[in-house]
Structure 1
Amino acid sequence: MNKNLLEVDWSKIPAPTDDGGAAHLKDTAIPPVSLVATDDTSVTLSSLKGRTVVFAYPRTGEPGKIALVDDWDMIPGARGCTPQTCAFRDLFAELKSAGASYVFGLSTQSNDYQTEMASRLHLPFPVLSDEKLELTRALNLPTMDVAGLTLIKRMALIIDDGRITHVFYPVFPPDRNAGDVLAWLRDNPASS
């Protein structure tokens, strides 16, 4: 059972290694794929002007629900989706003031599942569903297969005017990702 999704001793969780799965992404143009968002809109990342932050994760859990597989915590990079998401929520205002025009979460979970999670966690940004794996396949994002599902490995992308300019991969521990992204944004202001 997922008792508390936010209290994790990261020293007991295996860290993901850089398998090179995201090495091809820097300087890549985002394909014109439209994704449904938790705010009842469709978002086409390739058409957004300015700087966009997209953090991707395998899947968030639900308090009191059984994990997808018994050894979820032992899959490198699997555990930590809710702490990562909450860190982006908590730093949202700072990310915006550091130059992020948009912030999105991204997973292959259904929009219904994500909408419940976004409401429960009081997220100030939409979460995008790539349930059909259209963006994942078009960008050849690094994935893992668990319990018959294809899940995006944890990462964060900085996208400027539809082109990936920076990739955070692998991400560990997950709750530090938003702070790392914020520090990068402050050190690398978008050219206007």
Structure 2
Amino acid sequence: MTTNNYNELPTNLPVPLDDGACNDLKGKKIPSVELTSTTGHIVDLSEIRGKLVLYFYPMTGNPRESLPNGWDQIPGARGCTPQACSFRDHHKELQELNTQVFGVSTQSSEYQKEAVERLHLPFELLSDSKLTLSNSLNLPLFEVDSMSLNKRVTIIIQDGTIEKVFYPVFPPDKNIDEVIEYLSSN
């Protein structure tokens, strides 16, 4: 069943398989890359000290625009809004765990701003529209409708070094539970 409600996940979505694409991320340093945030600031993640959660997602759907053809059949593609909302709903817990969160996609900051406003996100989304960070980390991507999009990956960073990777992320709205469990015990 397909649903046009981006806040809900359709039933029977295909489950993404672990293809090993993120096996070498743990222990890597975050490269010095400047990304534009939805606040208009330039963010270099390599300069941020402390604990960070970056969740890479394919794209945020806009209710005024159609999703790419076959979107629900691409394993792991659907669920960006529920994932963002779960991080929003648990943002206070993440702050209590001294953790900063950013969402990252290949969409422009202008496009991402609509989602931040519509979903009332209390954190910034970062645009990797030139794939600079994604390519530097060799993150898994997929192509649809002439767009290169991130496969869903969540990484936890401590002082510029990746210490935990969640991949593949499924279902996306439950990723926050794994993140909080990890942060609470580490």
Q: TM-score, normalised by structure 2?
A: 0.96
Residues 1:174 and 2:172 are matched in the alignment: yes
Q: Cα deviations across residues 74-104 of structure 1 (Å, max 9, x unaligned)?
A: 100100011001100000000111231x110
Q: Check the 8 A contact 2:59/2:107 in 1, yes or no.
A: yes
Aligned position for 1:121: 119
Deviation at 1:148, TM superposition (A): 1.1
Aligned position for 2:41: 41
Q: Cα deviations across residues 87-140 of structure 1 (Å, max 9, x unaligned)?
A: 00000000111231x110000001100011111111000000000110011111
Aligned position for 1:71: 70
Aligned position for 2:150: 152
Q: Distance in 1 between matches of 2:98 and 2:15?
A: 30
Aligned position for 1:183: 181
Q: TM-score, normalised by structure 1?
A: 0.93
**AA in 2 matched with 1:104:** F
Identity of aligned residues (%): 49
Q: Distance in 2 between matches of 1:119 and 1:94?
A: 21
**AA in 1 matched with 2:7:** L
Q: Distance in 2 between matches of 1:135 and 1:22?
A: 14
- Secondary structure of residue in 1 paired with 2:175: helix
Q: Distance in 1 between matches of 2:173 and 2:36?
A: 25
- Secondary structure of residue in 2 paired with 1:181: helix
Q: Distance in 1 between matches of 2:65 and 2:147?
A: 18
Deviation at 1:64, TM superposition (A): 4.1
- Secondary structure of residue in 2 paired with 1:176: helix
Aligned position for 1:85: 84
**AA in 2 matched with 1:119:** E
- Secondary structure of residue in 1 paired with 2:98: coil
Deviation at 1:41, TM superposition (A): 0.7
Q: Distance in 2 between matches of 1:58 and 1:73?
A: 12
Q: Check the 8 A contact 2:142/2:151 in 1, yes or no.
A: yes
> What is the root-mean-square deviation of aligned Cα atoms in Å?
1.2
Aligned position for 1:137: 135
Segments of 4+ moved more than 4 angstroms: none
Deviation at 1:2, TM superposition (A): 6.2
5+ long unaligned stretches in structure 1: none
Aligned position for 2:96: 97
5+ long unaligned stretches in structure 2: none
- Secondary structure of residue in 2 paired with 1:184: helix
**AA in 2 matched with 1:73:** D
